[in-house]
Structure 1
Amino acid sequence: MPAHVLILGGTTEARRLATGLAARPGIRVTTSLAGRVARPGAVAGEVRIGGFGGAEGLADWLRTHQVDALVDATHPFAEAITAHAAHAAAATGVPAVVLRRPGWRPGPGDRWHDVPSLAEAAETLPAVGHRVFLSTGRLGLATFAHLTDLHFVVRSVEPPEPPLPPHTELVLARGPFTVAAETELLRTHRIEVLVTKDSGGEATAAKLTAARELGLPVVVVRRPPLPPGVTAVPDVAGVLERLGLSPA
């Protein structure tokens, strides 16, 4: 049984894992948050805020704090920290596991346009629709700033930093969202196309159902691949199994 588990967090699954581990006698759990959100949700156990200084800095932290297991439960698009975690685990010999909820898949009636990046999404938009619900978070919005002929509704937890597209309405909200609320938002703003990252999970999936029911196209930015040799488990139960722990 690991005595000290470091969770690279920021997701709902990371909080669930921290809660489960913190309740087990003999396990110290520390969750590391990037600090990009000023008021993150409550997390069980110990919490640290900020980066490590790259893969070498993370490896030093693992050694200094006698970490027995590392869980990368960051957002599926946190490509750099996932690469750093893989490198640090290999350098220190600390067992590591990646927790990634399954991605979304289109169903009957969906009109999805799969793209590999935000840049490709921006290139696709003018041919798909001119009133855009941009639900990709507050980072990376500069990619769309040159689209001066399009109208954007941008939703994020906290206000994004410029540059933004010149015609932008900002909606500050934190999920989960209901299908009814998402449908009302799309109708109220006369949205013609939805843009989203393939973050997976149920907390923000309602917008996809709403878009399907309204017959709207969806531009879906697919996840970056995991580092070579790295595999992921889809849920907290899979992490516990990897750590040699029985389900609660």
Structure 2
Amino acid sequence: MHVLILGGTTEGRRLAELLVSAAGTRVTSSLAGRVAAPRLPPGEVRVGGFGGAEGLAAWLREHRVDALIDATHPFAGTISFNAAAAAASAHVPLLALRRPGWVASPGDDWHPVGSLEQAARVLPALGERVFLTTGRMGLAAFAGDPDLDRLWFLVRSVDAPEPPCPARMEVLLERGPFTLDGERGLLRRHRIDVVVTKDSGGAATAPKLAAAREAGIPVVVVERPPAPEGVPVASTPEEAAAWVGTDLAP
């Protein structure tokens, strides 16, 4: 059985580990190539795009893929819809592997928004020193506005961002997981008074939410984009591996 994992996430790597150890299973992980030095999963690895839904469907047919698992980041919306269209075209079963989103706890001061642009609009009323943890993509939403130019941004990402960027910005190049003590110290050291994050879920970057709660700092949370309709969803790599073994075994 040949399984193609659209990966680049912790869950995608864990799923590859589980499937590679299963007898009779060939695993190929596809990475988008947006990170300079990604953590490679076991099994076969390809890097780069497919050329849209049609290109992915052609790849599925050419490489005789028996199952497609979309384990991309919850905010990688385009590839998820391409995967749904390609799987339908190539008649390949598709599963989405999505870590659960975060849930607010008592004491949290969360401000949900639907996009980075909406996050930028609410920021000036919430604080002046911003901890921006949405990654290096999409920083243009926080640039070029006089109301935002007076704010100071601490931008944390794995790789260095490219312009356009906020006018007043310091870049922190780090890769999770992060600790609660580390996040407490970061907020205190940089005098952060508002945090911006995407609802990516998972434990690796969640400590910033607990640190913000303790410090009474508001958090602007960008909600996840809608997922393709009709695609079954697993919340853990173990569930996804069971789907392959149980539902698709010859």
Name 2:233's counterpart in structure 1.
232
Three-state SS of the structure 1 residue aligned to 2:156 is strand
For residue 90 of structure 2, the aligned residue among 78, 89, 92 is 92
- Inter-partner Cα distance in structure 2 for 1:96 and 1:244: 14
The alpha-carbon deviation at position 233 of structure 1 amounts to 1.4
The alpha-carbon deviation at position 80 of structure 1 amounts to 0.2
- Inter-partner Cα distance in structure 2 for 1:24 and 1:114: 41
For residue 7 of structure 2, the aligned residue among 9, 22, 25 is 9
Three-state SS of the structure 2 residue aligned to 1:154 is strand
Name 1:160's counterpart in structure 2.
161
Please tell me the residue identity of whatever aligns with 2:28: T
The answer to whether residue 243 in structure 2 is matched with residue 242 in structure 1 is: yes
TM-score normalised by L of structure 1: 0.97
- Residues 27 and 43 in structure 2, CA contact (< 8 A), matched pair in contact too: yes
Structure 2 unmatched ranges of 5 or more: none
- Inter-partner Cα distance in structure 1 for 2:223 and 2:8: 19
Please tell me the residue identity of whatever aligns with 2:55: G
The alpha-carbon deviation at position 100 of structure 1 amounts to 0.2
Name 1:216's counterpart in structure 2.
217
Q: Percent identity?
A: 62
- Give runs of aligned pairs for residues 184-223 of structure 1, distance below 5 A: 184-223=185-224
The alpha-carbon deviation at position 227 of structure 1 amounts to 1.4
TM-score normalised by L of structure 2: 0.96
- Inter-partner Cα distance in structure 2 for 1:199 and 1:104: 8
Question: Pairwise CA RMSD of aligned residues?
Answer: 1.0
The alpha-carbon deviation at position 245 of structure 1 amounts to 4.1
Q: Give the length in aligned residue pairs.
A: 244
- Residues 98 and 234 in structure 2, CA contact (< 8 A), matched pair in contact too: yes
Please tell me the residue identity of whatever aligns with 1:216: I
The alpha-carbon deviation at position 244 of structure 1 amounts to 3.0
Name 1:178's counterpart in structure 2.
179
For residue 83 of structure 1, the aligned residue among 63, 81, 84 is 81
The alpha-carbon deviation at position 42 of structure 1 amounts to 2.6
Name 1:145's counterpart in structure 2.
143
Please tell me the residue identity of whatever aligns with 2:105: G
